[in-house]
Amino acid sequence: MKNKILYNYFFILFSIIPISLLVGSAVSSINILIISISFLIYLFYLKNWQFLKNKNIQLLLILYCYFIFNSFISLDFNVGVARNFGFIQYILFFIALNYFFYRYEKFSKIIFFWFLVVVVVFLDILFESYTGKNILGFGYGFHERIFSFFKDEPKVGGYMNCFYLIIVGYFFNIYNSKSLKIKYLIVIMSVLFLLSIFLTGERSNTIKALIAFFIFFTLNKNFSIKEKIICFITPVLLFGVIYINSDYLKYRYGSLINKRLKINSTVNYVKKEIINIKNENKIEISDEEKDNFNRSLGANYLRLYLSSLRVVKNYPIFGVGNKNYRIVTCTKYSTESGGTVKYQLYKSQSSKEHEIFNSSYICNTHPHQIYFEFLSEHGIVGTLILLVIFFKLIFQILRGINFNQNNVQLGCIVYVILIFMPIIPSGSFFNNYTSTLFWINFSLMFAINRNINIFK
């Protein structure tokens, strides 16, 4: 009886994760925290700590020790301390998911409940793309991104990106030996999920989703080469037809092929900026180069990347500290009234405020790219620690996976690998929302396979 209550309790907590993410980052963080604390209490009740001998857990604990160290070397201890010390909740989440997937075979049914929630979000995206508002009345209409249940935050593309391959892999696992019709229905479902991400207008998430789709079906053993080619051509043709007939999508994605883009001028601008970063000599950049750079694809992101390189130059070893990027880039010094006054504005991102902070940095909360975030906030040493641990865990999975047997694990691995994709803009890796999406996939790619589950 006690085991049944425990099972149902955690089954509900894990099942509502997609809903909690839709309600808000604070709610999803509370849900993850409840899972972590509840499971920690249960571990003390079991008095079974054998899993601590698992090398994967030991690597994650080393990572946690590094984060604690990072707090004490940060520019502002108070800014990043909660994020660093709170990292333990994701390790406990990882352990809990592994435990319940290993002990209860039916625990994988939580993915079916995730599927139901994602279908609702998918339908809402279609509704908003047609009407300009979602079913709850959120949205801003033409020439604005689709927000769905996230009200005014462009997150829904990343949300769908997190879950769609998990769900597709889940149905492939269940119906692996069934009829061809069911197999093609699953393909159609995956294309529709992919379409919803495309409709959001979130360019970086669309690029990642397309790459993930191609990798997933390339490695999927359920299809012949001919069938895989059909799978690849179908979304390209579908998206092409929709793009041609949609002014909104032309507006969002048109900059990717903007004829005004002048590559040579942009490259020259970036080269001169990098030289300026390396030394104190200011190299003149022509007005034409500035103008073409400002109109070029990703100019704002390039500015952020260059700004983060300046942070790395000034704090090369351990960086400024987790979440401290905003401290460096969004601090203004004034010498009014004969003294030095420091002003901090962490959330300013408008172009006007960029001009106010007319210095070597661009004011923002983070660099919007995972490697620049690692380097600026953790320095060269911290970045090496982070990448060595994560890549060691990922490549360990790749060595032991059988792609023909576990499509959920395949979907999770593809998602996790693309998180570390260079150049493409991304959210802050350590942000609560982004972290939750990452740890869902990262934890599940271990938990779903009994051969590498940490409780084996």
pTM over the 0.95 mark: no
Question: What is the residue whose two structure tokens read 């059909």?
Answer: 230
Let me know if residue 334 belongs to a domain: no
Which residue pairs, CB below 8 angstroms and at least 24 apart, start in 358-364? 360/277, 360/307, 360/310, 361/307, 361/310, 361/311, 361/328, 361/329, 362/303, 362/304, 362/306, 362/307, 362/329, 363/326, 363/329, 363/330, 364/304, 364/307, 364/325, 364/326, 364/329, 364/330
Let me know if residue 313 belongs to a domain: no
Let me know if residue 259 belongs to a domain: no
Let me know if residue 323 belongs to a domain: no
| pLDDT, tens only, 312-350 | 988 999 999 999 998 888 875 544 444 444 444 444 444
Mean of the per-residue pLDDT values for the chain? 83
Q: How far is Cα 9 from Cα 192, in angstroms, rounded to an integer? A: 33
Name the domain count of the chain. Answer: 1
Tokens of 294: 């400002």
What 8-state DSSP symbol labels residue 334?
E
What is the residue range of 179's domain?
A: 2-252+371-447
- Greatest CA separation for the chain: 80
Let me know if residue 287 belongs to a domain: no
- Average the pLDDT over each of 69-73, 302-306, 376-380 and give the range with the smallest value: 302-306
Averaged pLDDT, 382-397? 93
Q: Is 443 helix (H, G, I), strand (E, B) or coil?
A: helix
| pLDDT, tens only, 260-305 | 445 555 656 556 666 666 665 566 666 555 555 555 555 577 778 8
Let me know if residue 278 belongs to a domain: no
Total residue count of the chain as it appears in this document? 456
Let me know if residue 292 belongs to a domain: no
Which is more confident, 290 or 184? 184
